[in-house]
Structure 1
């Protein structure tokens, strides 16, 4: 269902020792949304992302995925249903690209080789790479190609949710634009819910169906690209938008 809430933060706070990173955070993310999160360094962007798949636990409050309190769920099963892509994603260097992408499907398909083979061949095309790449090793690929393989691997378990933490930050500008276009196409094609962390306001506005602007662990503004650009709610957002002009 398009308007169904798939991720919900209910009054979540996160403390590191006495330092409060996230303060009384409330957020709903709907099915099929492409939410981009932008903010200053240390604003809690990555902390939010890691709490969605249980890599970090909240100090207080509750996080729900598909209506279930994730603290009461099997964390391994939770993460299998959530794709996770980070900057310079660590592919297995001793495995071919085929085996890298097949790693998760083989776990879920119980070694059904034909089913896995078809899944891998579909995914390599989904991320815009040639099937010939499947026999190569990560060291033989460019940074942009490796990033695409990382996205394919994250999609391999057919997740409903895809978390992306500054995934294009380590590539050159031309490659970055190509990857941005690719992830937009994948989102439109697969209708997967994407939560995308970036420090680039232009990238946030280009990709997001909704943008969340964070500052010091709190939400400055949440809105569509047009709302953020044309009706900035605070001075912090105004200054951020000026970068695009």
Structure 2
């Protein structure tokens, strides 16, 4: 395996009874790529994403992280190196923003309070929020602010990989554009490998350095945003980009 490949799917199938959700899915994702995944509901996007951090296992085939078959790895240790952000991420309502972000660093830093404090204050700046937000509670924040705190919490363990499952779907259009710009900036600043699922083709083309189009459990096409826009490989992809 190439040394710069951090995620590999090798002939992965996933079935629930007689229903095949993923069909012979193979893919290499390189270190530092921002991979956006677009496709209709039921195309296998979220199933694929959850296989990267071991939340789901293939029916057959293999998923590798850094060249290691993840089915043979300690799942807790695996997930410590993989951030995970979902739509409307569930922050702990009884904890301040500071404590929400600090939750993972405190576990990793063995209660080293100064190290944790510095990590939290760095992260709140990384996601573009003011320091005075740290002592507020989630209920006191807007939807966009809560989503940023969720991103900060997912970055708290300094992960090499960040998984994002339609993270901006529940916010208004203006906030969504701001969050898109913020995650693009974070990607450039930190160099983290991002796999980002969306239903919005414009979002996929704006953010991705590599765009995957999925349809009925298969990889319909992959390429740069320019390749997807200018050279759609199938009728399904052509219809997608026509609405963008």
Q: TM-score normalised by the shorter chain: which range applies? A: over 0.9
1:148 aligns with 2:148: yes
Query: How big is the shift at 1:3?
Result: 6.8
Cα distance in structure 2, aligned partners of 1:40 and 1:17: 21
Q: Unaligned regions of 5+ residues in structure 2, if any? A: none
Shift of 1:33: 0.1
CA distance in 1, matches of 2:139, 2:129: 16
The alignment status of 1:91 with 2:69, answered yes or no, reads no
Q: TM-score, normalised by structure 2?
A: 0.99
Match of 1:40 in 2: 40
Q: Give per-residue Cα distances to partners, 1:32-74, cap 9 Å, x unaligned.
A: 0000000011000000000000000100000000010000001
CA distance in 2, matches of 1:219, 1:78: 25
Shift of 1:148: 0.1
Please list, as runs of the form range in 1=range in 2, the aligned pairs for 1:122-137 lying within 5 A after superposition: 122-137=122-137
Residue 168 of structure 1, CA deviation: 0.0
Query: How far apart, in 1, do the equivalents of 2:10 and 2:225 lie?
Result: 25
The CA deviation at 1:26 is 0.2
**What does 1:52-131 align with in structure 2 at a 5 Å threshold?**
52-131=52-131
Equivalent residue, structure 2, for 1:193: 193
Inter-partner Cα distance in structure 1 for 2:201 and 2:40: 11
Structure 1: how far apart are the matches of 2:91 and 2:34?
25
**In structure 1, what is the Cα distance between the partners aligned to 2:65 and 2:106?**
25
Structure 1 runs of 4+ off > 6 angstroms?
none
How large is the RMSD of aligned CA atoms in angstroms? Answer: 0.9
Distance in 1 of aligned mates of 2:212 and 2:152:
26
Cα deviation 1:175-203 (Å, max 9, x = unaligned): 00000000000000000000000000000
Partner Cα separation in structure 1 for residue 17 and residue 98 of structure 2: 43
Structure 1 gap ranges (5+) = none
- 2:196, 2:16 → 1: CA distance? 23
- Give the superposition deviation at 1:17: 1.1
Aligned partner of 1:231 in structure 2 is: 231
Task: Give the structure 2 partner of residue 178 of structure 1.
Answer: 178
Question: Counterparts of 2:66 and 2:106 in 1: how far apart (Å)?
Answer: 25
Q: Structure 1 length as normaliser, TM-score?
A: 0.98
Q: Deviations over 1:73-129 (max 9, x none)?
A: 010110111000000000000000000000000111000000000000000000000
Task: Give the length in aligned residue pairs.
Answer: 243
